[in-house]
Amino acid sequence: SLKGKTAIVTGSNSGIGLGVAREMARAGADVVLNSFTDRDEDHKLAEELAAEFGVSARYIQADMSKGADCRALIETAGRCDILVNNAGIQHVAPIEDFPVDKWDAIIAINLTSAFHTTAAALPMMRKAGWGRVINIASAHGLTASPYKSAYISAKHGIVGMTKTVALETAKEPITANAICPGYVLTPLVEAQIPDTAKKYDMTEEEVKEKVILERQPSKEFATVEQIGGTAVFLCSDAAVQITGTTISVDGGWTAL
């Protein structure tokens, strides 16, 4: 059980982040939810999670594109046993047309935020004598696809940073690993299906199988519960010697 541990999950008012936070709470951890918005519904998510799993939960607004906000998130939480760097955005364009502001935002949110949160969280983990850094990378942290230069650079970058943090903490009761999901059916992915169906004159089922899951041999989406379960496993005693590596949850994508 993760009772008594506090898990901070960045970008967790939707999708994989919320799924990971839910599995952490189910395992008994207190959780800190985060995103850049500060709406009643964000805080309500934390209340619901606390009520459902009998843990303490709160929502802390912080913009992961800003270094000071990233560090303030950890400081405000005051305790961080499990850090899940999940916040991420995507933009798709050929490199010569790639908007510079999108490049900068993707590198900031998908990569640099984890540098800041990790730097702020490690002293707390050392003080507590236990810690887990879990970075949500991607199959695109290990392989590439055209038109996603910023995302793929950031995801390869975070895999490299994961290995470095693992080496810097190797002799301590702290591990750092990256989870590399293939396609997960989150609101982000779901939103693209109707338009793609129109564009290719396909049914939504055909889009899922032939376009989105083209690279995923299982032809099934991974679920947010599976990503969350993998994160909980990385916090278990069985995973104590697992550090500086990647775990793919991608239906065979990286075996191709």
Based on CB atoms, which residue is closest to ligand NAD, 9 or 29?
Answer: 9
Contact 174, 164 (CB under 8 A): no
Residue among 32, 111, 114, 136 that touches ligand NAD (CB under 6 A) = 136
Burial bucket for residue 98 (CB in 10 Å: 0-12, 13-18, 19+): middle
Residue entry with tokens 């918005």: 37
* Closest to 218 measured CA to CA, from 256, 176, 161, 177: 256
Q: Which of 80, 183, 235, 253 touches ligand NAD by CB under 6 A?
A: 183
245 sits in the region (left: phi over 0; alpha: psi -120 to 50; else beta) called beta
CB of 145 to ligand NAD, least distance (A): 12
Shortest reach from residue 172's CB to ligand NAD, in Å: 26
Min separation Cβ 9 and ligand NAD, Å? 9
Q: Which of 144, 188, 202, 242 binds ligand NAD (CB under 6 A)?
A: 188
Choices 13-21, 49-57, 161-169, 199-207; region in contact with ligand NAD by CB under 6 A: 13-21
- CA nearest to 88, candidates 20, 168, 26, 174: 20
Nearer to ligand NAD, 14 or 128 (CB): 14
Asked if 88 interacts with ligand NAD (CB under 6 A), we say yes
**Interface mask toward ligand NAD for 24-63; x: CB under 6 A:** -----------xx--------------------------x
Our finding on whether 138 is near ligand NAD (CB under 6 A) is: yes
In single-letter form, the type of residue at position 223 comes to: T
What is the distance between the alpha carbons of residues 136 and 250, in angstroms, rounded to a whole number?
13
Catalytic residue among 59, 147, 151, 183: 151
What H or E segment, with its residue span, contains residue 212?
none
Count the neighbouring beta carbons within 10 Å of the beta carbon of residue 68: 10
Q: Alpha-carbon distance 31 to 39, whole Å?
A: 18
d(CA 140, CA 110): 12
Interacting stretch for ligand NAD, rule CB under 6 A, among 75-83, 115-123, 184-192, 236-244? 184-192
Count of residues interacting with ligand NAD (CB under 6 A): 27
Site membership for ligand NAD, residue 202 (CB under 6 A): no
The yes-or-no answer on residue 151 being catalytic is yes
109 burial class (0-12, 13-18, 19+ CB within 10 angstroms)?
buried
Task: Please report, as ranges, the residues that interact with ligand NAD according to CB under 6 A.
Answer: 11-17, 35-36, 63-65, 86-89, 109-110, 136, 138, 181, 183-184, 186-189
Catalytic positions are: 151
